[in-house]
Structure 1
Amino acid sequence: MKSFVSVPSNSDFSIYNLPYCVFSTQQNAKKRIGVGIGQLILDLSTVTDFFAPEFVDALNDEVLNSLMALTPAAWKSIRNTIQNLLLENSELDRNDALKEKAFIEQKNAAFHVPAKIGDYTDFYSSIHHATNVGIMFRSKENALMPNWKHLPVGYHGRASSIVVSGTPIHRPYGQTLPVDGADPAFGPCRLLDFELEMAVFVGGAPTKLGERVNAEQAVDHIFGFSLMNDWSARDIQKWEYIPLGPFTAKNFGTTLSPWVIPVAALEPFAVDNFPQDPTPFAYLQHKKPFNFDIVLEVSLKPQNGVESVICMSNYKYLYWTALQQLAHHTVTGCNLNPGDVFASGTISGETPDSYGSMLELSWKGTKSILLKNNETRKFLADGDEVIIRGYCQKDNVRIGFGECSGVVLPAIPLEQCT
């Protein structure tokens, strides 16, 4: 396929990708649904005449939830229509007046969280990350907890503090235990971290309370994937997580890319699921490969400094697939709604340069990470910008995820928060 839109060879957004976003402009503050192509956004609200009437309301919405609530067959139909519109000599290509109205330069757009997120669940599905953390805090012999290979471990996060890429994150305040066995202290987090993650947006019809979706059925409820940074306050987390797990160490900000890549764009890059031993229960089993060869990269850019790549990982390292995560989430009868988000948990590989968090890269603060400007880090400093990127590449076809970035701002003094 060849689009009439100029797409640079290294672009994340070729006609084979077509990620969704929600955007507005200075000239038009209304939020609209768009599709990325090259360096442009196709404003779907301007081309609804080309779509089946039953899709028009969803395409005119201010968030992706209505589109996500459609069926996989509808998603395919809409995607095919968009691809056909963007081909050379299409009806859109031949209509110069409509083209002038339909396309916005990405650099001139303001991006928004692409869906109204009702619920957010964060999983812990990378075996390498879980093993590393277990070794650090327990021992090599007891790195994985007894349940870890039997079910996708997760916790419910805070949907209200999910923000779009580019939104700064303030260093949080909280309780910590600087010295084991001593009294806790209160103040700004000292061990601020990022977590390299990917988010999955739930789609399809809502499920009712009491209904279950097994792993084979779950593919009809996966709309698309985005990059995510689950910011973490490690010192706060260490003190508060017993006995109920993460709480305020995770609720102060989670950064999400504005781009949602459809599952259809990723299917050519599917790879075998991670080998699982023991064999999961039947509700967690699925034959369809639903792991993907997505190269993931994390860069750290200090204030007034240069960008340094500090991690190279891959989505294929996940032990539990998104289908298994969704199946386990619903096995109790928990209901799902379009726009709900599942996060993968930190995605780490086997080698130290593929570790997806500062906790691992610095090995609990015992090693320093050297940056290009000769500064070092063990955890994040104020002014640091964390930038996550991802892409698939095969046979000259590139499917990119854009960027997921955020700058660390100093903690807001207590007297300013009263």
Structure 2
Amino acid sequence: MFASHFSAHNIPFGIASSEGHPRRSAATRLENTVIYLDELAKHDLLSSLPKEALDAFSHVDLNGFAALPKSIHQQTRAALQSLFKEPLASLPAGCTDKLNNVTMHLPVSSRDFTDFSCSKDHVLNAGEAIQKKRYLPPGFLHFPIGYSGRTCSLIVSGTSFVRPKGQFRDAQGSIVYGPTKQLDYELELACIIGKPTKLGETVASKHADDHIFGYVLMNDWSARDIQGLEMPPLGPLNGKSFATSLSPWIITLDALQASAVEGQPRELQVASYLMDSNPINSYDIALQADLITGGKSTIICKSNLNAMYWTFRDLVVHQSSNGCCLNTGDILATGTISGSTDDSHGCLLELTNGGQYSFELSDGQSRIYIEDGDEIQISALASDGVGFGECTGKVLPADL
């Protein structure tokens, strides 16, 4: 379905296995074909690459490869593009697999995960939905605000999860325990840290890109009723920590060069460490969310990364500004990516104005929040031949 996202202009990196290639290892994708990098290395088809890269291709995650200098990532990308000038059928047996025969896995092992709130429109819309007034938190225009998530509940695209339970207020205002009644999705992108830092080290804006291995789609599933009760005063916990879906293919900064654009202007002067001397600091990436039920799909959001007030460079710089170390495989996410139009609300909290309104599906059903059996599919396209594919997740009934 998303074969066109994966041309030779892309060259993503992921972790794959199959019946014929049972051990997880590094892979790339060309249209609907998955190519195992460790098999290419075994046949000396990537002999121009340094040994540390070839060794990393046989690892069960991409951490070892991601931590290598960006020049090696670029060298690998160029070597693969050169190799793919010839038909894939000419590669030795065992080097390739059809996508539908392959199992994709989480691409990296992540020790830390921070979810930020980069969208001014989302913050204003969420404030209106919850507090009945449009306002920005005191720090929003000064720095990207965020919270620490749980890496243990990261799941790869295509993984179903059980509706979470927790405490929340019922219609009568009493606090009860049970399955969430306000299950939501959040349309997000996230960067994967490649080059790590040491504790006490800070990252300058001009060096931030050096620490980003690439980007993935993310759906930060949210139980709004549970989250609403637990938020004051320390922020979300059980309302967020039950599942976070990631797309399996990491898209590199080099693949996104054609989509690089100038980001949103600052409304206030920021602290010196957040000043970015390079105005080309964002990307024109079109995102879409679909709700799928009964085999029928309904588009529920169309947005764009460039609507974000804060950039990925800002996230890297701010996360490290107090000396917090960045580890290879760490995830820094945008938060909900919403725009200023009614069709660009990146979560149902915004779309339904806090549950006040329903929306209609293509089969005539209506929804306020996500129901059991519903599936959310997020996709993103950056430029011709360069996209992220999809990030999907299906909701199963709660364990009672």
Question: Percent identity of the aligned residues?
Answer: 39
- TM-score of the pair, normalised by structure 2: 0.95
Q: In the alignment, which of 319, 324, 327 is matched to residue 334 of structure 1? A: 324
8 A Cα contact 2:186 2:336, kept in partner: yes
- Checking the alignment, whether the CA contact within 8 Å between 2:128 and 2:353 is kept in structure 1 is no
CA contact (8 A) 2:21 2:94 kept: no
Q: Post-superposition shift, 1:44?
A: 0.2
Q: CA deviation at 1:265?
A: 0.4
Aligned residues of 1:133 and 1:143 also touching (Cα < 8 A): no
1:71 to 63, 69, 72: 69
Is the Cα–Cα contact under 8 Å of residues 305 and 373 in structure 1 kept in the other structure?
A: no
Using the alignment, how far apart are the partners of 1:285 and 1:268 within structure 2? 24
- Whole-angstrom distance in 1 between the partners of 2:295 and 2:98: 28
Matched AA of 1:168? S
1:280 lines up with 2:280 in the alignment: no
Q: Aligned AA for 1:297? A: Q
Contact 2:303 2:346 in 1 (8 A): yes
Match of 2:341 in 1: 351
Q: Which residue of 2 aligns with 1:157?
A: 149
Residues of 1 paired with 2:300 and 2:221: CA distance?
Answer: 16
Which of residues 18, 21, 24 is equivalent to 2:17? 24
Q: Distance in 1 between matches of 2:387 and 2:207?
A: 27
State the partner residue of 1:193.
184
Contact 2:3 2:32 in 1 (8 A): no
Q: 1:53 Cα deviation (Å)?
A: 2.2
Deviations 1:71-98 (A, max 9, x none): 1111111111111111138xxx6x93x4
User: Is the counterpart of residue 249 in structure 1 residue 239 in structure 2?
Assistant: yes
Q: Report how far residue 305 of structure 1 moved.
A: 4.1
Superposition RMSD on alpha carbons, in Å?
Answer: 1.6
TM-score (norm 1): 0.91
Distance (Å, rounded) in 2 between the aligned partners of 1:87 and 1:27? 25
- Could you tell me which runs of 5 or more consecutive residues in structure 2 were left unpaired when the two chains were aligned: none
Distance across 2 between alignment mates of 1:233 and 1:241: 12
- CA distance in 2 between counterparts of 1:35 and 1:152 reads 33
Are 2:388 and 1:401 aligned? yes
- In the alignment, is the contact (CA less than 8 A) between 1:272 and 1:291 conserved in 2? yes
Cα distance in 2, alignment partners of residues 9 and 381 from structure 1: 26
Gaps of 5+ in 1: 1-7, 414-418
Q: 1:280, 1:202 → 2: CA distance?
A: 24
Q: Deviations over 1:396-418 (max 9, x none)?
A: x22110110011101111xxxxx
Q: Is the 8 A contact 1:35 1:41 kept in 2?
A: yes
Give the equivalent residue in structure 2 for 1:105.
98
**Alignment check: 8 A CA contact 2:8 2:385 kept:** no
Counterpart in the other structure of 2:361? 371
2:73 is paired with a residue of what secondary structure? helix
AA partner of residue 385 (structure 2): R
Name the CA shift for 1:187/1:54 in 2 (closer, same or farther; >3 Å): closer
Q: Tell me, in whole angstroms, the C-alpha distance in 1 between the residues paired with 2:51 and 2:222.
A: 45
